[in-house]
Structure 1
Amino acid sequence: MFFKRFSILVFIISSGILLNLASCKENKKVIKQTEVTFKKEGALTIFKSVDSTQVKLDIEIADTDFDIQTGLMYRNSMDTNQGMLFVFDDIKARFFYMKNTKFPLDLIYIGGDKNIVSFQKNAKPFDESSLPSKFPAKYVLEINAGLVDTWNISIGDSISYTTN
């Protein structure tokens, strides 16, 4: 008798759970995030110190707290001739990470004199490990992973940029 009542109780509870799950599935709202796209806000040139060649990029500028904290998060990609330049008010050690960043990046740390002071190459998507500068920096330039090596960018190279 106990087993029969227990079986009926299990059946009723299971049926209720299944009905609840089915109704949740039907009522589930699909939230689609709007993709953030590149907005050209300036132009940047990297001046090579060894052979005086130049690399020219269109840049988006991160200079507000929101832009600095968000960076390239939630984007699917960036063109080869594009980058994001972070501009800070002070010169100090910088620490970046790849939280919510969907594609790999090279990070270029730049001192107050606009000379490159260090790199973090091939930063992995979604990795929350700290990516510190080796020396104090006022600027950080994010470009697609591999471009530091492709363009033979070196410590001591310099940048110049203009805004729209």
Structure 2
Amino acid sequence: MIKNKALYLLLTAAVILTSCGGGTESKKENIKSNEEITDIPEPKFLKEGELSFLAKDGKEIKKIAIEIADDEQQQTQGLMYRKSMADEQGMLFIFPDSDIRNFWMHNTFISLDIIYANEKNEIVKICKNAEPLNENQNLGSDKNAKYVIEVNGGFSDKYGIAEGDRISFKR
């Protein structure tokens, strides 16, 4: 899930204003505990394309079905509230530019590998086995990334996906 503090604060302010009539509750009082969010319905996977992980020599390592997050609302939602995901599924985040990306595990119940790729489709960073619900992990790209792929935790080790490999996708 994208770590966009300005958007998060804006959304929190909107919740405060609409639910409290403009009251002065703190942001912390409006954040649901992990126990409270377990009642939120799990979003269903919606296949919007396919993505292949390619070795440095161009051979396909693994192909998965993907959901595509290419606008701010979808990118903010990401894989929050998912309780499971098939090994052959993932989410592809497509950004309009290449920049340092920072993700977090807010309301994310499954461990993820977060794979960052640059504008040349080259994998530049993999954050492996991100801990569910841990908002304090450093899950940044360190290098400019235009694409981010979220797959189940352990996926990159299981299939031997490494930095320097590439991605290819179609809608």
Q: Is TM (by shorter chain) over 0.5?
A: yes
Letter in 1 for 2:139: L
Alignment of 1:1-164 (within 5 A): 32-49=39-56, 52-129=59-136, 130-163=138-171
**Whole-Å Cα distance in 2 between the matches of residues 32 and 88 of structure 1?**
31
Query: What is the CA distance between 1:32 and its match in structure 2?
Result: 4.2
**Whole-Å Cα distance in 1 between the matches of residues 103 and 66 of structure 2?**
18
Q: Between Structure 1 and Structure 2, whose CA radius of gyration is higher? A: 1
Q: TM-score, normalised by structure 2?
A: 0.74
Instruction: Give structure 1 stretches of 5+ with no counterpart.
Output: 1-30
Aligned residues: 133
Instruction: Give structure 2 stretches of 5+ with no counterpart.
Output: 1-37
**Whole-Å Cα distance in 2 between the matches of residues 90 and 50 of structure 1?**
27
Q: Secondary structure at the match of 1:150?
A: helix
For 1:10, the equivalent position in structure 2 comes to none
Q: Secondary structure at the match of 1:84?
A: strand
Query: What is the CA distance between 1:53 and its match in structure 2?
Result: 3.7
**Whole-Å Cα distance in 2 between the matches of residues 69 and 97 of structure 1?**
10
Q: Which runs of 4+ in 1 moved over 3 A?
A: none
Query: What is the CA distance between 1:52 and its match in structure 2?
Result: 2.2
CA-based RMSD of the aligned residues comes to 1.4
Q: Secondary structure at the match of 1:142?
A: strand
For 2:31, the equivalent position in structure 1 comes to none
**Whole-Å Cα distance in 2 between the matches of residues 102 and 122 of structure 1?**
12
After superposition, the C-alpha distances for 1:93-139 in whole angstroms (9 at most, x for unaligned) are: 00000000001000000000001001100100001123100211000
After superposition, the C-alpha distances for 1:46-83 in whole angstroms (9 at most, x for unaligned) are: 11115824310000000111110010001111100000
For 1:5, the equivalent position in structure 2 comes to none
